[in-house]
Amino acid sequence: MSDEKDTMNESTTAQAGPDAGPGASAADVVLRVENLAVDFRTEGGAARAVRGADLTVHSGETVAIVGESGSGKTTLAMAVLGLLASNGSVAEGHIWFRGEDLGQAGPQHMAHLRGTALGLVPQDPMTNLDPVMRIGRQIDEGLIDNGLRTRRDARGRTVELLEEVGLPDAARRASQYPHEFSGGMRQRALIAMGLSGRPALLVADEPTSALDVTVQRGILDQLSDLTHELGTAVLLITHDLGLAAERADKVVVMYRGEIVEQGPARDVLMNPRHEYTRRLMASAPSLASRRIEIARERGLDEVLDEALLAHEDGAVNGVAAGEPLVSVRDVTKVFKIRGHGLLGRSKDFTAVDGVSLDVPRGSTVAVVGESGSGKSTLARMILDIETPTAGTVLFDGRPAGGANQAERIAYRRRVQPVFQDPYSSLDPMYSVFRAIEEPLRAHRFGDPEARRERVEELAEQVALGKGLLRRFPSELSGGQRQRVAIARALALKPELVVCDEAVSALDVVVQAQILRLLAELQEELGLTYLFITHDLAVVRQIADRVVVMQNGMLVEEGTVDEVFDSPRTAYTRALLDAIPGKDLELAL
């Protein structure tokens, strides 16, 4: 442990200073952070979240700040924007923006800067849009309040902004509410807001973490175009080192509130000097996927043995794939979409169109595709949350869900979900113990003592300490919350676990831990997984078979090796080509 600490200290000293870059001049410096420290007031006194941070961003430059949850990267960005929580403050250092010391700026001036020269694209599109206000009006008000447009011509500019970020039929979309947008569309709307003032510095806080890889590539291409055309600097907050290395000019690595390494993106990736940076690289799914690809090209079997979680013969951790546990046959799901206005006619929307697939017992099948491809609707039909319009879903040879209430209750014991968002899938009023115990109560499992023993057993299985059982979700990290969700899903000893984007909201270090946990639980309990995801890099780490969906239809399926090494459709090739870091040459 002491050797690791010495390595960290040596690397910090070597690379923590600002990097002005070749040929850079003071005149083109947009942002300079000097010896920044940020404190938060707590009941136990001041807690330092960022310490000794030095950072320089030049005009037209993209600087990525990477690190796991709690590393201080978002806190640093919010300090720059003057948006720290009410109990947070800059304790030391300076933040210079275009030569102005923001520490001396008053609240009104900072508000003006945020509406014009400083832009923000926040992470969560679900909570950063007003649910009762139309999208267009939300953008209109920002333009009007910041003096960028008059009320008369604000809407025209709003439509232009929505078109710039790739929203089709932007004029009609502007009149819709957030709930009528997909997650990707909501994020595009937030990006339009962030770009509305043509800012000198745009802070993008995990702007694409909720988006599929092809949409992610489009959004990042647009941000890159803005950087080059307008000279806008981008401060990109992300936990994906592969994405940062592919997209940024410079990478800044944060660990426990400190900048431990920074430099040109490719240099940091190809020759990481800090132990923590190496750990991030090992955890990033996109880089793991690239290592597997390079190893196959070079025939490095020993690298493949270390990199792959699943065996090539369709077995998971030594468990041979058997008869289908789930058989989907010609399933179609049609929704009625309400028309606009009082007399608007509803129309049919086919979310899933004639899909057939098998999920072998004891295996992991991944369903991938862009947002709106129908993969989550398919999962909901398998879970018996949605009823197919046509076709059948068979579970263990019988219709999924059953014919009556008793059979449906029995089905719930055998099939359990793990949802995407560990923040909203847990009741904030329930302790961890109560959250895990709830399915046991609902299905009348044993007496209180038997339930307590089962909850403690589950907590141990997912590596949650007993001390956490008394806590509430707000007191847990994202990774801990997802472990609670997994424990709850396993409470009734199901045979099938449907993981709907179960790791997409987690940073790469925690993501790697959860994927490893899922693999261990599968081996220990003989579980079958249906893994719904837009992240093909994760698929390569966890799955045996891959099903690719586009516009509600199944367009390709096969083993992981078949689909990744020899994709048959242009759509699948486009998904694979969009994996961040795909073209990077890594040292193996």
The CATH number linked to 25 is 3.40.50.300
Q: What pLDDT score was predicted for residue 338?
A: 67
Task: For residue 20, give the 3-state DSSP assignment.
Answer: coil
How far apart CA 78 and CA 133 sit, in angstroms, is 25
Residue 241 identity: L
333 domain-assigned: yes
Residues 192, 104 share a domain: no
267 φ/ψ sector (left φ>0, alpha ψ -120 to 50, else beta) = alpha
190 domain-assigned: yes
Residues 15, 97 share a domain: yes
Residues 101, 239 share a domain: yes
How far apart CA 504 and CA 534 sit, in angstroms, is 8
Residues 98, 7 share a domain: yes
Residues 211, 101 share a domain: yes
Neighbours of 423 (CB within 10 A): 17
Q: Which residues contact 184 (CB under 8 A, 6 or more apart)?
A: 210, 211, 212, 215, 371
- The residue among 180, 198, 216 that closes a domain is 198
Instruction: For residue 184, give its domain range.
Output: 126-198
Residues 143, 29 share a domain: no
Residues 155, 111 share a domain: no
- The residue among 140, 164, 198 that closes a domain is 198
Q: What pLDDT score was predicted for residue 288?
A: 58
How far apart CA 44 and CA 27 sit, in angstroms, is 43
- pLDDT 10s per residue in the chain (588 long)? 444 444 444 443 334 344 444 444 566 899 999 999 999 988 788 889 999 999 999 998 999 999 887 788 989 999 999 999 888 899 999 999 999 999 899 899 998 898 889 989 887 666 788 889 999 999 998 888 878 888 888 899 999 888 888 788 889 989 999 888 877 788 888 888 888 888 899 999 888 766 777 777 877 887 787 667 778 899 999 877 777 888 899 999 999 999 999 999 888 877 888 998 888 877 776 665 555 555 555 555 555 455 444 333 333 333 444 579 999 999 999 988 766 555 567 788 899 999 999 999 999 999 998 877 899 899 999 999 999 999 999 999 999 987 788 888 889 889 999 887 766 788 889 999 999 999 999 888 889 999 999 999 999 888 888 888 998 888 887 778 888 989 999 999 999 999 988 887 677 777 788 888 888 889 888 999 999 987 777 888 788 999 999 999 999 999 988 998 899 999 998 888 877 766 665 555
Report in angstroms the alpha-carbon separations of 344 from 169, 173, 337, 347, 351. Answer: 18, 16, 10, 9, 21
pTM over 0.95: no
Q: What pLDDT score was predicted for residue 316?
A: 39
Inter-axis angle of helices 183-195 and 154-164, to 10 degrees?
120
Which of 541, 531, 538 lies closest to 499 in space, CA to CA?
A: 531
Q: CA quadruple 487, 488, 494, 499: dihedral positive or negative? A: negative
Report in angstroms the alpha-carbon separations of 298 from 217, 302, 540, 588. Answer: 28, 11, 18, 10
Q: CA quadruple 209, 522, 356, 562: dihedral positive or negative? A: positive
Which of 510, 536, 499, 504 lies closest to 283 in space, CA to CA?
A: 510
Residues 579, 562 share a domain: yes
474 domain-assigned: no
481 domain-assigned: no
Which of 503, 73, 68 lies closest to 252 in space, CA to CA?
A: 73
Q: What pLDDT score was predicted for residue 27?
A: 62
Which of 9, 61, 83 lies closest to 258 in space, CA to CA?
A: 9
Report in angstroms the alpha-carbon separations of 15 from 252, 261, 267, 476. Answer: 10, 5, 12, 32
At residue 234, φ and ψ (nearest 5 deg) are -120, 125
526 domain-assigned: yes
How far apart CA 215 and CA 186 sit, in angstroms, is 12
Angle at 446 between CA 406 and CA 461, to 5 degrees: 100
Q: SS3 sequence, 54-110?
A: EEEEECCCEEEEECCCCCCHHHHHHHHHCCCCCCEEEEEEEEEECCEEHHHCCHHHH
At residue 218, φ and ψ (nearest 5 deg) are -60, -45
Residues 273, 254 share a domain: yes
Residue 102 identity: L
How far apart CA 420 and CA 406 sit, in angstroms, is 28
Q: SS3 sequence, 362-422?
A: CCEEEEECCCCCCHHHHHHHHCCCCCCCEEEEEECCEECCCCCHHHHHHHHHHEEEECCCC
255 in Cβ contact with 67 (< 8 Å): yes
Residues 242, 213 share a domain: yes
277 in Cβ contact with 95 (< 8 Å): no
Pull the structure tokens for residue 286. 């996109």
238 domain-assigned: yes
How far apart CA 114 and CA 129 sit, in angstroms, is 17
Inter-axis angle of helices 432-442 and 478-490, to 10 degrees?
20
DSSP character string of 107-173: HHHHHHHHHTTEEEE-S-TTTSS-TTS-HHHHHHHHHHHTTSS-TTTHHHHHHHHHHHTT-SSHHHH
Q: What pLDDT score was predicted for residue 45?
A: 84
- The residue among 147, 181, 198 that closes a domain is 198
576 domain-assigned: yes
The tally of domains found in the chain comes to 3
Inter-axis angle of helices 432-442 and 448-461, to 10 degrees?
120
Q: What pLDDT score was predicted for residue 44?
A: 80
Inter-axis angle of helices 135-145 and 183-195, to 10 degrees?
10
Residues 61, 204 share a domain: yes
Residues 305, 222 share a domain: no
407 domain-assigned: no
What is Dmax (Cα atoms) for the chain?
Answer: 74
Pairing verdict, β 347-360 and 496-500: unpaired
